Every structure is written in structure tokens, then in C-alpha cells.
Amino acid sequence: MMIDSFTVQAERPEHADAIEALHEASFGPGRFARAASLLREGVAHDPALSFVATAGLTLIGSVRLTPIFIGDRPAILLGPLAVVEGWKGRGAGKSLMRTSLAAAAEAGHSVVLLVGDEPYYGPFGFVRLEPYRITLPAPVDPARVLVCPLAEGSLDGLGGAARRAS
């Protein structure tokens, strides 16, 4: 019997091993050299803004948000967002996105940054800024650098190097 419903809930410490396995399966070992991964290195994701999707007792998806800076302004980095292969296209990723963005806005954050595909993330409010207005710690296609304003005017004057929050 195939379960076709899922639940989104706050990430808990007991999810860590399943999330790591999901990230390994989704992104492979090369993920650690990517710009977004370098921004997360040595900085804990925010458990109040990180969520999992489960079907029964099985973890089927995860999203994490990590504090960063863009220039001298605090921001949040979204990612990784991952869903297990058999659950892609069934709404888990979209539910995780909506939940995490709502939690970030409710917590008072003003900008979310990610490296991703605009056709997927655009409907959630992510936009491209002019190329290289935000720089990352490793090469990345500037068309994939996306930001989501969570407050009025939060993109005004936003720019500079994205860096770890320490």
C-alpha cells in the first residue's frame, strides 16, 4: 500500500541522520564545494526555521534555513531543500518552502537568499537581482542567485558579499 499523504513538521534532532542521507542521495559528495554549502560551513541551521516532511514514520523531505549576512545586513540562506525521489512532484517541496518562508517572516527576517532555479522558486516570491549585486564565496551562475523579500523595501540597497554568520 502506498501512502499518498505527508505531514510537515519542525525538524528535530532525531531527524539528523535521515536528513544527511537524503542530502547525500540528492546532491552527492560534491555538494560541500558549492557556494551555498560554503556559506553554511561551521554555522548551525536555525531549527526554528527548518522543517521536514514525513509520510508515516518515513522522512521524505527537508528544508533548512541558516543565518548569513549579505554585505552588512542579516539574511537567511534557504537550503538544502530536498525531497526523496518517489515523492518529487507531489507537493512536499512546495509545502516545505511555504512553511519555512512563513516561519522566517514571522520571526522577523527580511530577506531569504538561495541558489536555485527561478521557474521553481519564482512562485514563492524569489527574484533575480542584477548579476553580481550579491556575490558568493564560490563561482555560481548569477541567474541562479535568487532572493525573496519578506518585508516591504527589504531589497532596497541590498548587495555585497554573502558571508557566514559567525
Parse the chain into domains and list their residue ranges. Answer: 7-164
Q: How confident is the model at residue 35 (pLDDT cuts 50, 70, 90)?
A: confident
Query: Is residue 96 packed enough to be buried (19+ CB in 10 Å), middle (13-18) or exposed (0-12)?
Result: buried
What does the radius of gyration of the chain's CA atoms come to, in whole angstroms? Answer: 15
| The CATH classification of domain 7-164, taken from the options 3.10.180.10, 3.40.190.10, 3.40.640.10, 3.40.630.30 | 3.40.630.30
* Residue-level pLDDT at 52: 96
Residue 52: which of 98, 107, 96 has the closest Cα?
96
* pLDDT reading at 1 higher than 50: no
What is the value of pTM for the model shown?
0.90
d(CA 15, CA 52): 8
Pairing relationship of beta strands 73-83 and 111-115 according to DSSP bridges = parallel
pLDDT at 20: 87
